[in-house]
Structure 1
Amino acid sequence: MKGTSHALAGAGVGLGVAIWVDAPPTATGLLIGLGCVSGLAPDLDTNGKLSNRISLHRKWLWYTLALIGVIIGVYSLITFSGIAKLIGTAIALIMIIVPRFLINQRFMIFLSGTAVIAFGWYWREMWIISFGLFMIAATFLPHRGLTHSVVGILIFSYISFLLEQSILINGVVYSCSLGYLSHLLMDMKCLPFNKKGIKWFQPVYNREF
């Protein structure tokens, strides 16, 4: 299932929740947005739409490290001599070449999650810290792993509960939890457009549905 379909389904859930709780226009927009994000959240364990939107693209880190490498290389060639020049040039080449092979989008999500945690810590917002931890944990999981299970729903629902307690807008938990659930339902093997399903009850029970 493509990310666009998950986003639209999540947005539809958010709209439905907004109508159900009779939310005002501003809150309706927020609930639709939260449903959209929640509908994409399970795919933080892969290179999906949400992971690309909320993290810097790896190319920016490549270019930054390459630029630093060029500066180090030029400085070493101009300033040093002998072994020091060789070491400086080697470091420069490593910074220019190696990141393209080692730094992928999962690594960028990890860095973004760390930044989110730092931001949440600064503002003393537990839901931001928790979401940052969710992002980092997802980078260590296989695609359609725990983020695509009851465990993932429960954790994300708790994060959305913390968010609702922070902003005091009715319907946030329902919009986020049901938006997240919509993703899992649309990834089930029983649907004709899915070759693979999800393991709802992993790690306890690993049958695919």
Structure 2
Amino acid sequence: MKGSSHLGIGIAVGAIAGYITQPDFMTVAICAGIGGASGVAPDLDTNGLATNRITLSKKVSKVLMEVAGIGILLMLIYQVMTQGMSREIYIYGGIGLVLLIVSRVITQRRMLTITGVLVMLLGFVLDKSIGILLAGSYITFASFLPHRSYTHSLIGVAFYALILKYLYIEWPIEGMMAAGLAGYISHLVADMKMLPVNRRGVKWFAPLWKQVF
């Protein structure tokens, strides 16, 4: 199923969860947003809608790395010509070369890894926010997983529930847990083989039981 479909379903179930929790416009609107974001979260294990929305732009990042790498090397060449060699030149020269090499080989998946690490760093900055730290670790782990593996299982549901729990402790928003879980689980249900648009299905109990549903 396409990411836009998962987004729409997530928004719908999130709004319903919000209405059940507190039938007012603000709660329903916030929960719809939480449900929509949660509805595409399992697909962070592939280059889909969720990944492309939160990941640092690969093209922009490559340009920035190339400019920084070339800039460092040019500055070092100027320093060698005017001041001679020093120990620091080798260190900064190595950094410049690494930036140039990484800019040529980096993939969108590794940009997702970097995004996850940055989110975890944000968690440390915000008084060691456990919710944000867990969210960053989820993004980082997902960037290394094959599509429809652990993020599309009960392990993924449990991990996401843990994220929501700590986010709710830090930012108590009415209906957050219900909308988030409803959105996440809706993704797995929508990917099941019982729907004719799906061929691969979902391994709900992986890695203990690899039966596809």
Name the TM-score, length of structure 2 as normaliser: 0.86
Taking structure 1 as reference, are residues 21 and 107 closer, same or farther at Cα in structure 2, changes over 3 Å only?
A: same
Taking structure 1 as reference, are residues 138 and 74 closer, same or farther at Cα in structure 2, changes over 3 Å only?
A: same
Of 136, 140, 149, the match for 1:132: 136
Equivalent pairs, count? 204
Distance in 1, Cα, partners of 2:157 & 2:102? 37
Distance in 1, Cα, partners of 2:93 & 2:122? 36
Distance in 2, Cα, partners of 1:4 & 1:113? 22
Alignment partner, residue 45 of structure 2? 45
Deviations 1:118-160 (Å, cap 9, x if unpaired)? 1112223211111111111111211111000011011101211
Any stretches of 5+ residues in structure 2 without a counterpart? none
The answer to whether the 8 Å contact 2:22/2:175 transfers is no
Identity across matched positions, percent: 35
- Confirm or deny that 1:36 pairs with 2:39: no
The root-mean-square deviation of aligned C-alpha atoms, in Å, is 2.3
Aligned residue for 1:140, secondary structure, equals coil
Distance in 1, Cα, partners of 2:99 & 2:171? 43
Q: Which moved more, 1:117-126 or 1:144-153?
A: 117-126
The answer to whether the 8 Å contact 1:39/1:182 transfers is yes
Q: Which moved more, 1:32-41 or 1:69-78?
A: 69-78
Alignment partner, residue 116 of structure 2? 113
Name the TM-score, length of structure 1 as normaliser: 0.87
Distance in 1, Cα, partners of 2:41 & 2:12? 15
The answer to whether the 8 Å contact 1:9/1:182 transfers is yes
The answer to whether the 8 Å contact 1:77/1:89 transfers is no
Residue type at the aligned position of 1:63: V
Shift of 1:95: 4.2
Residue type at the aligned position of 2:183: G
Of 177, 192, 195, the match for 1:191: 195
Q: What does 1:110-189 correspond to in 2, within 5 Å?
A: 110-124=113-127, 125-189=129-193
